[in-house]
C-alpha cells in the first residue's frame, strides 16, 4: 500500500487531497520542494504563508537544532530564555506592550476574543460582549474563531454558533458604525483579508475604525496571522496604514515552519488577562521560540523588507501582463497577491502544478499567491510563464 492510500485509510478527510493528483512532498530547500518521484516544484503556497523564507532556511534550522540540544519543552510555570527574548523583540518592534504565546492563529484569535470580552465586562456597562467582524473574513477553525469568520459556508453544520458576533462590510465604515451598540466591546478585522480572496483594507477604513473604537471605548483588534511578519513589505501590516490596534495576532510566518501563535496587546488591554484567565500548555515552547527569534533576525535585517516590497511590485507587474481577457481583477499588498480570473481556477491550479508551480485557488476563481519572501525576479518570471501557459490551456 502506497503512502497516499494509507493517508486516506488512517487520516480523517478534512483536506480535499487526491491520491493520483496531489504530490507527496519529500524535501524542500529555499523556494522549491521535491516530491517522491524527484519532481521539483516552485512553491508559491509556502505552507499557506508559513514558510516565508522558503524551506529549511539555514538560520532557522541552526537555531532549532541548537535549542533541541538544550531544552525541548518546559511548563509555563517556569521561565525560559527563548520565550522572553522573543517577547521583547515583538514588543520593541511593534506598538504592543505585552504578548501571550500559543500555537496557532486560531488560538491567538481565541485569546483576543476572550480578552475583548473580559475588557467589555470590566470597562463597559450593560454586559458588553459583542464583537464586530467583517464579512468575507477568516479568523480560524475553532468554534469562536469560526463564528468570528464572516463566511456562512464555514458555519454550516456546526450551528449554533457562539453568540455575540456581528458582521459589517469590509471597507465600508458606515456598515460597522451602524452595528455598534452598548453591547459592543471590540472590532476585529484583517488588514488584508487572505482566505476571503486577498482584499487589502483601504486606509480611510482602518483609520475610521480606529476613530470609532476611540469614540465608543472599544478595542480595535487586527488579525495579522497571514499578513503579518513581513508579508506586506512592512514587518506588521498595520504599519502600511499608520493605524495602531489595541490588540493584534500573529502566527504562520512567525515560526519559520514551526507552530507558534501570538496575541499582542498595548495599554490597558495588555493588563486585562490575569493568572487563571487563559493559558496554553505548549505556548511559547522553547524550540518554537528559538525558530521565531531566528525569523526576527532575518526579517529585520537591513534591506529585507525593501526586497519584499520590490518583489511584490515586480510580481504584480508580471501578473498585469497576463492576457486581459483572462483577468478580472488583481489585488495585492507586498507579496500577498490575489488574481481573480475569468475561468476555472481549479483547472489553472492543476495545470500549474503539473508544470512545476504550486499555487492556491480560493472560491473557484481567485488564484492566491504567497511566495516565499526570499523570492527573486528569475523565480517570479518562471512562475509567471507557467501561469500564462496554464491560463491559455485551462
Closest CA to 73 of 97, 101, 51, 107: 101
- Could you tell me which residues are beta bridge partners of residue 4? none
Residue 248 among the catalytic residues: no
246, 252, 296, 369: which one is catalytic?
252
Query: What does the alpha-carbon distance between residue 114 and residue 119 come to, in Å, rounded to a whole number?
Result: 8
Alpha-carbon Rg for the chain, nearest whole angstrom, is 21
Identify whether 33 is preceded by a cis peptide bond (ω within 30 of 0). no
Query: What does the alpha-carbon distance between residue 340 and residue 328 come to, in Å, rounded to a whole number?
Result: 5
170, 223, 315, 365: which one is catalytic?
223
Contacts of 1 by beta carbon, 8 Å cutoff, 6+ apart: 9
Query: What does the alpha-carbon distance between residue 45 and residue 368 come to, in Å, rounded to a whole number?
Result: 8
**Number of alpha carbons in the 13 Å side-chain half-sphere of residue 366:** 18
Contact (CB, 8 A) for 28 and 43: yes
Query: What does the alpha-carbon distance between residue 324 and residue 320 come to, in Å, rounded to a whole number?
Result: 8
138, 176, 248, 296: which one is catalytic?
138
Cell representation of residue 311: 518583489
Task: Report how far Cα 243 is from the mean position of its chain's Cα atoms.
Answer: 19
For 190, list phi and psi in degrees, rounded to 5. -90, 130
For 318, list phi and psi in degrees, rounded to 5. -65, -35
Residue 282 among the catalytic residues: no
Q: How far is CA 303 from CA 90, 256, 280, 300, 374, in A?
A: 19, 19, 35, 8, 12
Residue 223 among the catalytic residues: yes
Q: Edge-to-edge, what's the strand order for the sheet holding 357-358?
A: 25-29, 32-35, 40-43, 357-358
Contact (CB, 8 A) for 377 and 312: no
Query: What does the alpha-carbon distance between residue 219 and residue 123 come to, in Å, rounded to a whole number?
Result: 11
- Catalytic annotation, residues: 138, 223, 252
Amino acid at each position: 500500500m502506497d503512502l497516499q492510500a494509507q493517508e486516506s485509510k488512517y487520516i480523517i478527510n478534512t483536506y480535499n487531497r487526491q491520491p493520483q493528483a496531489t504530490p507527496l512532498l519529500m524535501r524542500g530547500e529555499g523556494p522549491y520542494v521535491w516530491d517522491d518521484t524527484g519532481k521539483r516544484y516552485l512553491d508559491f503556497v509556502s505552507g499557506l504563508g508559513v514558510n516565508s523564507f522558503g524551506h529549511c532556511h539555514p538560520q532557522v534550522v541552526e537555531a532549532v537544532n541548537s535549542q533541541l540540544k538544550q531544552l525541548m519543552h518546559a511548563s509555563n510555570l517556569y521561565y525560559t530564555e527563548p520565550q522572553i527574548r522573543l517577547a521583547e523583540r515583538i514588543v520593541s518592534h511593534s506598538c504592543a506592550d505585552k504578548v501571550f504565546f500559543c500555537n496557532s492563529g486560531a488560538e491567538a484569535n481565541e485569546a483576543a476574543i476572550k480578552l475583548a470580552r473580559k475588557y467589555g465586562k470590566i470597562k463597559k456597562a450593560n454586559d458588553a460582549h459583542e464583537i464586530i467582524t467583517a464579512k468575507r473574513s477568516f479568523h480560524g477553525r475553532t468554534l469562536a474563531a469560526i463564528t468570528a469568520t464572516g463566511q456562512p459556508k464555514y458555519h454550516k453544520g456546526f450551528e449554533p454558533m457562539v453568540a455575540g458576533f456581528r458582521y459589517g462590510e469590509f471597507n465600508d465604515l458606515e456598515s460597522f458604525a451602524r452595528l455598534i451598540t452598548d453591547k459592543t466591546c471590540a472590532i476585529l478585522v484583517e488588514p488584508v483579508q487572505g482566505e476571503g480572496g486577498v482584499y487589502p483594507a483601504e486606509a480611510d477604513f482602518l483609520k475610521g475604525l480606529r476613530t470609532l473604537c476611540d469614540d465608543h471605548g472599544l478595542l480595535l483588534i487586527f488579525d495579522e496571522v497571514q499578513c503579518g511578519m513581513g508579508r506586506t513589505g512592512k514587518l506588521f501590516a498595520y504599519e502600511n496604514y499608520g493605524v495602531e490596534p489595541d490588540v493584534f495576532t500573529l502566527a504562520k510566518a512567525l515560526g519559520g515552519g514551526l507552530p507558534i501563535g501570538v496575541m499582542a496587546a498595548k495599554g490597558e488591554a495588555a493588563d486585562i488577562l490575569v493568572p487563571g484567565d487563559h493559558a496554553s500548555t505548549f505556548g511559547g515552547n522553547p524550540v518554537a521560540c528559538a525558530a521565531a527569534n531566528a525569523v526576527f533576525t532575518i526579517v529585520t535585517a537591513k534591506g529585507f523588507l525593501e526586497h519584499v516590497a520590490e518583489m511584490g511590485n515586480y510580481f504584480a507587474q508580471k501578473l498585469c501582463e497576463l492576457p486581459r481577457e483572462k483577468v478580472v481583477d488583481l489585488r495585492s499588498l507586498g507579496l500577498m497577491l490575489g488574481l481573480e480570473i475569468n475561468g476555472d481556477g481549479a483547472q489553472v491550479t492543476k495545470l500549474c502544478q503539473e508544470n512545476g508551480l504550486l499555487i492556491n485557488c480560493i472560491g473557484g476563481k481567485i488564484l492566491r499567491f504567497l511566495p516565499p519572501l526570499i523570492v527573486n525576479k528569475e523565480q517570479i518570471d518562471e512562475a509567471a510563464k507557467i501561469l500564462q501557459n496554464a491560463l491559455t490551456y485551462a
